[in-house]
Amino acid sequence: MTADRTLANGLRVLAIKHGRAPVAEARLILPAPCRTRETLAESVLLAACLSRGRVAEHGMELDVAADVHQLTATLSGPLDDLDTLVRGLADVARGVPAEVDAARGQLVARLALLRANPDLAMRAELARHLFGGHPVAFPMPGDDELAAIAEPRHRPAGPRGAVLVILAPDDPDRLADACERAFEGWQDASPLPPLPPLPGIGRGRLLPLPTPGAPQSRIRLRAPGVTVADERYPALFLARDILGGSLSSRLSRSLREDKGYVYGVTAFFDHHPGAGFLSIEADTATATTRPALDVLFAELDRMRTHPPTADEIEAARAYALGSAAVRLAPAVKLAGALAGLAAKAVDPLLLLGFPRRLAAVTPESVVEAAGRFFAPGSFSGVVAADPGELTGLR
């Protein structure tokens, strides 16, 4: 049972009856596009401030995160205190930051831990390589940028374009009514211009990242794909599963089981508002960097020369349907997945209808997607390895 309601102020409320535990899971997506590094720093600090909201006093778990596109508030709490829960989200939407200094101190410590992760620096290089100066390639705010902010001024634009997802074992209309009462007085602020579209990422551009003495190499590749709403997406989803979506995929069998070149390899979708990319990522020992790349690109070519078989397609379909049912069974996972689509400017209800879309995919459309989207020359990305392994990298 679902209630899909757009309030008078423009906020979309998607309420779903789900689960049995007397707990409500809510996700609020607030558009807050950041066109400069300064506004991103303000948005990240604002999120840290709002995470310290008063709902924690009521035994509820609140977390607010920020990126260049939006603020995302995650809140869960007892169903019998539903009004307090949705008022807590409304406070986030209208939020005036408090305890800025305390929030800044915690944020600086958390960012320091994140920066210690070498994969994070590599992903920043990947974003810059693919998207240049677009805001999605902005690095995390530095300590000096955060210290310069007396109070965050960058705010979400308002309710138009915002989406609230709430799941609980209750009547969806009652859930939506509670949200409507809580957000009744929230009105549009000054409009914020949207971010520019992502640039084309180019094809066949591999950037070597020398990491002297590194015991292992990291391979991070992207190629143009389609958005979730595209009619070709379900067929491409199955083709991606066949290539690298599970332990029985072609990449896993060739690189991990047959050759023993990689610790792990996976293919997945990297979605952004208005754009979708195919992703392949693998980690390998330094000495097997080039052989692993050769096998990886050979498997990409095989998606065209040896297209997915009927057995592979049906196995991928069964795996996709079964794993989704298990993965999305908990309310916290389903709420996160629905909100994740909303954050990428995709209608969350597409997730609920996705099993039907998968069931309707024909083998011919999977073969076509495999041949069209997985050409080796379509992929760009970065390879971090010892300099001796990067010579002549194509």
Question: Taking the domains of the chain in order of start, what are their residue ranges?
Answer: 2-182, 206-389
Q: Is the pLDDT of residue 61 over 90?
A: no
Please provide the average confidence, as pLDDT, over all residues in the chain: 92
Label residue 255 exposed, middle or buried (CB < 10 Å: 0-12, 13-18, 19+).
Answer: buried
Confidence of residue 143 (pLDDT cuts 50, 70, 90): very high
Q: Tokens for 282?
A: 């693998």
Question: 189 with 156: CB under 8 angstroms?
Answer: yes
Q: What length does the chain have? A: 394
Residue percentage of the chain with pLDDT more than 70:
96
- Give the tens place of pLDDT for each residue, 271-313: 999 999 999 999 999 999 999 999 999 999 999 999 999 999 9
pLDDT level of residue 187 (50, 70, 90 thresholds):
confident
Here the tokens at position 198 are 């992502």
pLDDT digits (tens, 9 = 90+) for 200-243: 998 899 999 998 988 899 999 999 999 999 999 999 999 999 99
What are the two backbone dihedrals, phi and then psi, of residue 18, each rounded to the nearest 5 degrees?
-155, 140
Check residue 369 and give its pLDDT: 98
Q: What are the tens digits of pLDDT across the range 69-105?
A: 999 999 999 999 999 999 989 989 987 667 888 889 9
Q: How far apart are CA 212 and CA 71, in angstroms?
A: 38
Q: How far apart are the first and last CA of the chain?
A: 52
Query: Are 2-182 and 206-389 equal in CATH topology?
Result: yes
Q: What is the pTM of this model?
A: 0.92
Three-class secondary structure assignment of the chain: CEEEEECCCCCEEEEEECCCCCEEEEEEEEECCCCCHHHHHHHHHHHHHHCCCHHHHHCCEEEEEECCCEEEEEEEEEHHHHHHHHHHHHHHHHCCCCCHHHHHHHHHHHHHHHHCCHHHHHHHHHHHHHHCCCHHHCCCCCHHHHHCCCCCCCCCCCCCCCEEEEEECCCHHHHHHHHHHHCCCCCCCCCCCCCCCCCCCCCCCEEEEECCCCCEEEEEEEEECCCCCCCCHHHHHHHHHHHHCCCCCHHHHHHHHHCCCEEEEEEEEEEECCEEEEEEEEEEEHHHHHHHHHHHHHHHHHHHHCCCCHHHHHHHHHHHHHHHHHHCCCHHHHHHHHHHHHHCCCCCHHHHCHHHHHHCCCHHHHHHHHHHHCCHHHCEEEEEECHHHCCCCC
Taking residues 111-133, report their average pLDDT: 91
Q: Give the mean model confidence (pLDDT) for residues 30-44.
A: 95
Report, as an integer, the average pLDDT of 362-388.
95
Superfamily holding 206-389: Metalloenzyme, LuxS/M16 peptidase-like (3.30.830.10)
Residue 58: pLDDT above 90?
Answer: no
Task: Note whether 9 and 30 are within 8 A (CB).
Answer: no
Q: Is 9 exposed, middle or buried (0-12, 13-18, 19+ CB in 10 A)?
A: middle
CATH architecture of 2-182: 2-Layer Sandwich (3.30)
> What pLDDT was estimated at residue 146?
94
